[in-house]
């Protein structure tokens, strides 16, 4: 079958500058157009797997090669033959059913029938994020399997699902941060249409979906980009591999590749935004930073739908949140490691490695509640440099707080979750703090039902690479002496052992047997959503005070004396008398009437596994604050005259 080339037709019809796209032309034959950037190749052929037929691509002046082919329809497997030698996958392949070393497959995204026409996307406020790894979220470990559990997330109050990276990677299991086919949803989880079905089902339940993308490096196995163009990589090194060339020679097509990828997830899969992994390792000295361009690309691709772009940034650079006119990148929010680190030290007492700059004191937790980042330019001894930049003016919702995430669970003894490393009361108190603060909360899969499954680091590679990964992981974990000493797991933590993957799968029967965890999260998120003062999350709408090293109070300011008081005690039962702290004074209405505090929520309620909700007496014996608890108070419905 003879190929046809029509530059005018293609330029008017292509959605993306790279990859293979299907074209429907009425009653005519189905056709596909292939385009790839390969400036180091003199000759490129598209080779069909089924017939072996080769189609020579036409070289363009700027290093691209392209061709319009009749009869190349959905489901056709193909590779690109480079300079008459090896045949390799498409660098913009839409699906790799046999993994990164196998053939690419033509995909027609228009074949899927969406039902989310009325979905308007997600804004930056009022969200509760839930991070999950598709492979371990359910026993099936697939997109279709995950759909079955989405109603359970809605039930507790989750509003956005954040999927750990989906780009296809080598091996039978992995976290996804070593992806190499950035346009191909991982075949281990299902087909591209299975992912579309997942997003469509989420939207039907009014759940947003964002995808974690890795734009700082590619994985070490199955990465063929350099065969097409070595300039995809800069020659610099990140912590995990070669850095991407965003600002050197021939950087324009590289930027185009990643910007196209950002658009692709929004347009072809209807996702509601991206989470950018380790932005501090995205090196770019261009006048217009690639992170800013990615943000703009997401906005443009979403049309009238609202989207969010979230960043992970270990140095805590607030400029990433600033508007473009102010020299920023326009991200909607950043992960807040400071909250997790301080809360984890408060829960466990372990302050080693990167936790060494935190004490877990009441003052730290008050400060993180008021200001987001704890480090905003102070010296951080563990790193031997200053950490963070000023962020006092950043709105609370733009900080994403969490007690657990994939990294922080895996960086413990045997992937132990936080509730297993502290007392039940203290864990409940910290959960209340997380879910009631004005910052955006994030849960990690299974957290809402106190999952017993660990979450380990797992990655399936070749024997040679597995040995390097195993040694690298051992070296990394050596910074946590208590983790090594406390590790009593029955088998060693070899990332390449399938046991690490299998035992990390959630047991959803625990949602029933651990009902007290579910009730705690559901009720707190109901308060967060429905209480008018807690839900307001106004900038400067909260103040706090320290009562002891382990006890503090946060006052949420409402309107006309309609305040809320959150008392958090991570230590022993406390008798506060006298209570010389103005934030604990009763609320007063416009008429001057005193409205004594009443308890509206306590983590010590028996339904959450506590000892029973105490009555907080304030007169005449001061305050009796129960041990290891969080108690939320509101003004009494019966105002009393001020005396």
- pLDDT at res. 619: 47
Collect all residues with Cβ–Cβ distance below 8 Å to 73 and sequence separation of at least 6.
22, 30, 32, 106, 108
Tens digit of each residue's pLDDT (9 = 90 or more) over 486-504:
445 444 478 999 999 999 9
Residue 565 sits in the same domain as residue 597: yes
Indicate the pLDDT class of residue 593, thresholds 50, 70 and 90.
confident
Indicate the pLDDT class of residue 578, thresholds 50, 70 and 90.
confident
Q: CA–CA separation, 352 vs 350, rounded Å? A: 6
- pLDDT at res. 174: 97
- Inform me whether the pLDDT recorded for 1 exceeds 50: no
Residue 441 lies in a domain: yes
Residue 265 lies in a domain: no
Residue 88 lies in a domain: yes
- pLDDT at res. 9: 57
Q: CA–CA separation, 387 vs 375, rounded Å? A: 6
Q: Which of 527, 557, 572 is the last residue of a domain?
A: 527
Residue 201 sits in the same domain as residue 95: no
Tens digit of each residue's pLDDT (9 = 90 or more) over 449-478:
999 999 999 999 988 898 888 888 888 888
CATH number at residue 13: 2.60.40.10
- Inform me whether the pLDDT recorded for 252 exceeds 60: yes
Residue 356 sits in the same domain as residue 468: yes
What is the percentage of the chain residues whose pLDDT exceeds 70?
A: 94
Residue 454 sits in the same domain as residue 592: no
Q: CA–CA separation, 398 vs 521, rounded Å? A: 22
Cis peptide before 555 (omega within 30 of 0): no
Residue 245 lies in a domain: no
DSSP 512: H
- pLDDT at res. 10: 57
Rounded average pLDDT over 531-551: 91
Q: Which of 486, 504, 527 is the last residue of a domain?
A: 527
- Inform me whether the pLDDT recorded for 480 exceeds 50: yes
Q: Which of 78, 111, 144 is the last residue of a domain?
A: 111
Residue 246 lies in a domain: no
Domain that holds residue 546: 538-635
Rounded average pLDDT over 597-624: 81
Report the candidate in 444, 443, 440 with the shortest Cα–Cα distance to residue 321: 440
Q: Can you list the alpha helix ranges (DSSP code H) found in 442-587? A: 463-477, 481-486, 498-502, 510-513, 515-530, 532-536
Tens digit of each residue's pLDDT (9 = 90 or more) over 522-537:
999 999 999 999 998 7
- Inform me whether the pLDDT recorded for 643 exceeds 80: no
Residue 324 sits in the same domain as residue 461: yes
Indicate the pLDDT class of residue 591, thresholds 50, 70 and 90.
confident
- Inform me whether the pLDDT recorded for 640 exceeds 60: no
Beta-ladder partners of 93: none
Rounded average pLDDT over 277-292: 97
CATH number at residue 314: 3.20.20.80
Rounded average pLDDT over 576-597: 86
Mean pLDDT value across the chain: 92
Residue 99 lies in a domain: yes
Residue 368 lies in a domain: yes
Report the candidate in 535, 541, 526 with the shortest Cα–Cα distance to residue 126: 535
18-27, 124-133, 440-449, 612-621: least confidently modelled range: 612-621
- pLDDT at res. 5: 44
Residue 259 lies in a domain: no
- Inform me whether the pLDDT recorded for 565 exceeds 50: yes
Collect all residues with Cβ–Cβ distance below 8 Å to 392 and sequence separation of at least 6.
371, 376
What are the tokens at 25? Answer: 């032309």
- pLDDT at res. 478: 85
Residue 189 sits in the same domain as residue 331: yes
* Residue numbers annotated as active site: 277, 312
Q: CA–CA separation, 153 vs 442, rounded Å? A: 12
- pLDDT at res. 618: 52
Tens digit of each residue's pLDDT (9 = 90 or more) over 193-233:
999 999 999 999 999 999 999 999 999 999 999 999 999 99
- Inform me whether the pLDDT recorded for 622 exceeds 80: no
- In this structure, are residues 494 and 468 in contact, taking their beta carbons and an 8 Å threshold? no
Indicate the pLDDT class of residue 484, thresholds 50, 70 and 90.
low
What are the tokens at 21? Answer: 């796209």
- pLDDT at res. 475: 85
CATH number at residue 546: 2.60.40.1180
What are the tokens at 250? Answer: 């021939």
Residue 462 sits in the same domain as residue 556: no
Report the candidate in 384, 411, 6, 406 with the shortest Cα–Cα distance to residue 175: 406
What is the percentage of the chain residues whose pLDDT exceeds 90?
A: 81
Residue 323 sits in the same domain as residue 402: yes
Residue 545 sits in the same domain as residue 523: no
Q: CA–CA separation, 162 vs 164, rounded Å? A: 7
Residue 485 sits in the same domain as residue 555: no
What predicted TM-score, i.e. pTM, was given to this entire model?
A: 0.95
Angle of CA points 581, 587, 591, to nearest 5°: 135
Residue 313 sits in the same domain as residue 210: yes
- pLDDT at res. 616: 57
Residue 61 sits in the same domain as residue 170: no
The count of structural domains within the chain is 3
Instruction: Taking the CA atoms of 257, 261, 262 and 264 in sequence, report the sign of the dihedral they define.
Output: positive
Report the candidate in 193, 191, 188 with the shortest Cα–Cα distance to residue 164: 188
- Please name the residue that has the structure tokens 């499954």: 453
């Amino acid at each position: 079958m003879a190929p046809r080339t029509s530059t005018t037709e293609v330029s008017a019809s292509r959605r993306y500058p790279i990859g293979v796209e299907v074209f429907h032309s009425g009653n005519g034959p189905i056709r596909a157009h292939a385009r790839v950037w390969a400036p180091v190749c003199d000759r490129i052929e598209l080779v069909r797997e089924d017939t072996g037929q080769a189609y020579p691509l036409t070289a363009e002046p700027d290093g691209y090669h392209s061709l319009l082919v009749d009869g190349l329809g959905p489901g056709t497997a193909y590779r690109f033959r480079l300079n008459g030698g090896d045949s390799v996958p498409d660098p913009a392949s839409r699906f790799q059913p046999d993994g990164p070393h196998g053939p690419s497959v033509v995909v027609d995204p228009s074949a899927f029938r969406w039902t989310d026409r009325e979905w308007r996307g997600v804004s930056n406020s009022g969200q509760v994020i839930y991070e999950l790894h598709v492979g371990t979220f359910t026993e099936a470990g697939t997109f279709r399997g995950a759909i079955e559990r989405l109603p359970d997330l809605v039930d507790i109050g989750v509003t956005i699902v954040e999927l750990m990276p989906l780009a296809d990677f080598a091996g039978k299991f992995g976290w996804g941060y070593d992806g190499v086919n950035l346009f191909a949803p991982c075949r281990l989880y299902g087909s591209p249409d299975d992912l579309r079905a997942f997003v469509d089902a989420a939207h039907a339940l009014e759940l947003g979906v964002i995808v974690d993308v890795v734009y700082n490096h590619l994985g070490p196995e199955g990465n063929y980009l350099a065969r097409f163009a070595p300039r995809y990589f800069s020659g610099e090194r990140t912590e995990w591999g070669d850095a991407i060339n965003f600002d050197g020679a021939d950087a324009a097509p590289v930027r185009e590749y990643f910007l196209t990828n950002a658009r692709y997830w929004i347009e072809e899969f209807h996702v509601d935004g991206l989470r950018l992994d380790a932005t501090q390792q995205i090196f770019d000295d261009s006048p217009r930073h690639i992170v800013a361009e990615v943000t703009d690309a997401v906005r443009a691709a979403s049309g009238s739908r609202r989207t969010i772009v979230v960043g992970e940034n270990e140095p805590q650079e607030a400029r990433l949140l600033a508007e473009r006119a102010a020299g920023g990148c326009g991200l909607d929010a950043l992960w807040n490691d400071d909250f997790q680190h301080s809360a984890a030290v408060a829960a466990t007492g372990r302050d080693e490695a990167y936790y060494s700059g935190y004490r877990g004191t009441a003052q730290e937790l008050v400060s993180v509640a008021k200001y987001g980042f704890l480090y905003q330019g102070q010296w951080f001894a563990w790193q031997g440099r200053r950490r963070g930049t000023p962020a006092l003016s950043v709105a609370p919702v733009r900080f994403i707080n969490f007690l657990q995430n994939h990294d922080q669970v895996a960086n413990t003894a045997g992937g132990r979750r936080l509730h297993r490393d502290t007392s039940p009361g203290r864990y409940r108190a910290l959960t209340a703090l997380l879910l009631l603060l004005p910052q955006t909360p994030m849960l990690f899969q299974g957290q809402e039902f106190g999952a017993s499954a660990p979450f380990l680091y797992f990655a399936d590679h070749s024997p040679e690479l597995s040995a390097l990964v195993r040694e690298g992981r051992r070296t990394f974990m050596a910074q946590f002496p208590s983790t090594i000493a406390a590790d009593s797991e029955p088998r060693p933590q070899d990332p390449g052992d399938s046991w690490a993957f299998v035992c990390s799968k959630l047991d959803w029967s625990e949602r029933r047997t651990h009902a007290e965890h579910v009730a705690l999260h559901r009720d707190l998120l109901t308060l967060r959503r429905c209480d008018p003062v807690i839900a307001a999350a106004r900038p400067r709408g909260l103040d706090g005070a320290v009562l002891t090293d382990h006890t503090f109070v946060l006052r949420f300011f409402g309107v006309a004396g309609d305040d809320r008081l959150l008392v958090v005690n991570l230590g022993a039962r406390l008798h506060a008398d006298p209570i010389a702290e103005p934030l604990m004074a009763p609320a007063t209405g416009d008429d001057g009437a005193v409205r004594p505090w009443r308890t509206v929520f306590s983590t010590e309620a028996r339904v959450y596994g506590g000892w029973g909700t105490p009555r907080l007496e304030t007169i005449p014996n001061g305050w009796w604050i129960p041990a290891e608890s969080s108690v939320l108070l509101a003004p009494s419905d019966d105002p009393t005259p001020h005396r």
